[in-house]
Amino acid sequence: MMRPKATPLTTRERLHALLRELNLKGMQRVLDAELDQAERDGVPAAEVVQRLLTEQASFQRERAMVNRVARAHLPWQWTIDTFPFQQQSGVNKAQILGLAGLDFVRRAENLVLIGGTGTGKTGIAMGLLRQACVNGWRGRFYNAQALLDELYASLADRTTTRLLTALSRMQPLCIDELGYLNLKPEQVNAFFRLMDQRYGRVSTIITTNLEYSAWYGLFDNKPLVDALLDRLQHHCITIRIEGPSLRASTATDAPAQTAASRAPKRATTPTAQKSR
């Protein structure tokens, strides 16, 4: 008994198979529409190829941006656009929107936000970090105690050098709630090594409830704190937030919830795109 011959694949089916094999999802999702239009309007082959490649490039940029935001490990999807400026009198809106232009990141300047609990310093830091990730940089958010604990753990398995190398490349690195921490001398030394490696090369964003003078009590090592502040403040923007707690009203919780449901924004200008 003769088996029926297999129906040969059409040209479109072969194209779809090739695009799947090459993982060109951006091109595959618009292939039929572009070919239909080409057949209907007599579009030149070169124009069809150009449109398909443009779609693929856009797809890859979008996916890369989403991945950068995900790898930043932001605990909440705050954005600068959703920060409740109207409820925080201690924040200069024009100054924060200026920082969202990311010139301080391009100049490898540091940013230190000093303020009481609930004043919005973490929200501003997360919004700026997210903005940087959307615009092409690879940054990371850390709770200060978690970062110092990770540095301490790396001493046991002798991976500190590798960890410091990875952390020194993050642009920007956001260290949140540098305040009343439980620190060992080894953690203090590792933190200084990290800041020394980042000095003058990449931006660090720090939020804290402590004035610089109180850092001496936190780290309990005057020569090291002198050296740390010398490096940190050399090219640094310091913002002090003296305003009410945003947690005082349930209405101020809305920006965080609203922001979480928003899709990441694409960079608005080609010059903002930059990978580090």
- pLDDT for 272: 39
- pLDDT for 136: 96
- pLDDT for 107: 96
- pLDDT for 262: 41
Residue 274 CB: number of other CB atoms within 10 A? 14
- pLDDT for 2: 60
Place of tokens 């920006």: 255
Phi, psi for 85 (deg, rounded to 5): -55, -35
How confident is the model over 185-235, as pLDDT tens digits?
999 999 999 999 999 999 999 999 999 999 999 999 999 999 999 999 999
Distance CA 240, CA 126 (A): 17
> Which secondary structure element, helix H or strand E, spans residue 114, and what is its range?
strand 110-115
Banded pLDDT at 264 (limits 50, 70, 90): very low
Cα–Cα distances in Å, from 48 out to 15, 55, 56?
A: 13, 11, 12
Distance CA 16, CA 8 (A): 14
User: Of the ranges 5-19, 169-183, 207-221, 243-257, which one carries the lowest mean pLDDT score?
Assistant: 243-257
Average pLDDT over residues 146-172: 95
Banded pLDDT at 273 (limits 50, 70, 90): very low
User: Which among 3-12, 32-41, 188-197 has the top mean pLDDT?
Assistant: 188-197
How confident is the model over 40-97, as pLDDT tens digits?
888 887 788 888 888 888 888 999 999 999 999 999 888 999 899 999 888 999 999 9
Average pLDDT over residues 180-189: 91
Place of tokens 């124009």: 47
Q: Helix and strand tally (H, E) in the chain?
A: 12, 5
